[in-house]
Amino acid sequence: MTYENITPEEAKARMQSDPQAVIVDVRRPDEFACGHIPGALNVPLDDILNGRIPEPLENKNTPYLIYCRSGVRSVTAAQALVRAGYTRIANFGGILSWPYEVER
């Protein structure tokens, strides 16, 4: 089992077409507060790596769309979630390459 890498455009299409898709921002809370994708949940990478998975991420079969600032932490998070048994993980990189709306 592995995760998939998708483009921001593919991620946006999934957000619009799949009401079950959960957008996960793995940056620190201070970074999240500076701007994030509307509807995203902030679950810092350190929490994922330390097994502190919040309730909204408990279902391992939900589609999760993962991003960070530049795409490095999102890859690490995607790998960790797959190792933990998650089955529908898609990494779309960093918010720096997100051409759509950002909420502040």
| Enzyme catalytic residues | 68
* 92 and 6 Cβ atoms separated by less than 8 Å: yes
Segment (H or E) for 22: strand 22-25
* Alpha-carbon span 50 to 41, nearest angstrom: 17
* Alpha-carbon span 86 to 25, nearest angstrom: 16
* 5 and 21 Cβ atoms separated by less than 8 Å: no
